[in-house]
Structure 1
């Protein structure tokens, strides 16, 4: 009886794992197939003659390399800015006392619940008025700070003992030194988590870059992929579309896997110290 329960549990876990992994598997095998094999009915589950030709063709059909670098720049700078501004604002809201602090904090938090489509037109008008339309700075400007990041850091910093900060001040440390040398190392799990969420969101964001950018040479990878979709109606290009989507997915998967290791290690070390 116990053996049957273990087998059933293992099968249930395998099914739970296969469901989210199946689209990735199908994307990989489709990218490795040729146009003829993609037309077979029923479809094949393994490529009969695997080929990497579709991955090279992606860079010929569209300027995929430039778009990839654009996404690295936009997502990387935006994520770094969010980490810095969130830690700084979180520290102020958590450890400083000033009039209107709570009202201002909850006003920032309230912006998290605004649908993006509601803020799209005002943001576009603001960025265009500043002369930043169709520029890297224009597409990054609304992403340089994040309400969720500020909320997350404020909650974590609130748990840091005030005595630790007071001791650093007595030792003559400046506020900047206290923040980056004393507080920030204690926030490593939160910082890593926020970095994952921010990078994945900014890498995959489609609506705002589509609204503010007009030049093809500034398009991030998600907009370049939308151009690839025009080829998907032709069986000849379906493997190219899958190859482009697979390449575009690699950075977010790598960031998540690498950062997850740091996050788990940080949580484990924190638990041992506690």
Structure 2
């Protein structure tokens, strides 16, 4: 039909316009934050995206005022450890639920999923008392070691991938003498790499931006992660008497930018993993 081509072009133009508007709406807060962090104190809240005068020394000030590099290293260490612990432990449990047939499997899996309904506040005090009794309550260990027991959401996500793998592949490997560990490590994990990347990125972001647990466990300034350090910066420079918001905003950019970079680097794997999950679910 003669008009079908023009209708498709109009639809495509409208689609790109809508996508551009949505992108601007999502990017505006970050662009505002980035611009405000490069402004002098008197211009921070003028709502202009491009500073009238550039104040690059805001990042020098925060670097001299607080141990930002130490906090960055702490955040990287804790986030990677938490993501690895959550990914590996959740994959182990998910593989068990997907591959093995045992009485009450569905009931146990439902019980695992039911833990997602528990608010964080319910387990906060008991978990703290456990770490306090073993003498680790003021260290970075509780920030990542809790993930060694897996996560119900990640277990569900990975189980769906494992269920989508041909069972005959595992049975053939068993006939050839492969152990259950070999089935998991050499067959299941390589075939489910997109799901593992999604799990890793999810937990990396969650651990990187977590403020609650560092507030509870960390006392030593040298052990702070970036979100905990940002809270300290806000307390120090955002009080009514000082109001050095340019330093606070510079700290916010330092805290936010690494996750933006990680997303762009892992975007292809991340999107593919989500799409594959939708097909295999």
**TM score, norm. by length of structure 2:** 0.87
1:209 aligns with 2:206: no
Aligned to 1:34: 40
Unpaired segments ≥5 residues, structure 1? none
Aligned to 1:150: 155
Aligned-partner SS, 1:32:
coil
More displaced 10-residue stretch of structure 1: 228-237 or 10-19 = 228-237
- Structural mapping, 1:245-264, within 5 Å: 245-264=252-271
CA pair 26-167 structure 1, distance change in 2 beyond 3 A: same
**TM score, norm. by length of structure 1:** 0.89
Q: Would you say the 8 A contact 1:83–1:149 is kept in 2?
A: yes
Offset of residue 198 of structure 1: 0.6
More displaced 10-residue stretch of structure 1: 128-137 or 9-18 = 9-18
Aligned-partner SS, 1:156:
helix
| Cα distance between partner residues in 2 of 1:264 and 1:8 | 24
| Cα distance between partner residues in 2 of 1:150 and 1:53 | 46
More displaced 10-residue stretch of structure 1: 259-268 or 98-107 = 259-268
CA pair 232-267 structure 1, distance change in 2 beyond 3 A: closer
| Cα distance between partner residues in 1 of 2:132 and 2:248 | 33
Q: Would you say the 8 A contact 1:139–1:213 is kept in 2?
A: no
Q: Would you say the 8 A contact 2:36–2:49 is kept in 1?
A: no
1:227 aligns with 2:227: no
Aligned-partner SS, 1:24:
helix
| Cα distance between partner residues in 2 of 1:186 and 1:91 | 12
Offset of residue 237 of structure 1: 2.1
Aligned to 2:194: 189
Aligned to 2:171: 166
More displaced 10-residue stretch of structure 1: 50-59 or 85-94 = 50-59
Aligned to 1:124: 128
Aligned to 2:204: 199
Aligned residues: 268
Offset of residue 84 of structure 1: 0.8
Q: Would you say the 8 A contact 2:32–2:47 is kept in 1?
A: no
CA pair 10-73 structure 1, distance change in 2 beyond 3 A: same
| Cα distance between partner residues in 1 of 2:275 and 2:97 | 28
Offset of residue 269 of structure 1: 10
| Cα distance between partner residues in 2 of 1:9 and 1:93 | 42
Unpaired segments ≥5 residues, structure 2? 1-5
1:78 aligns with 2:78: no
Q: Would you say the 8 A contact 1:188–1:263 is kept in 2?
A: no
Q: CA RMSD in A?
A: 2.4
Q: Would you say the 8 A contact 2:158–2:195 is kept in 1?
A: yes
| Cα distance between partner residues in 1 of 2:275 and 2:160 | 20
| Cα distance between partner residues in 1 of 2:200 and 2:186 | 19
Q: Would you say the 8 A contact 1:79–1:195 is kept in 2?
A: yes
| Cα distance between partner residues in 2 of 1:99 and 1:45 | 61
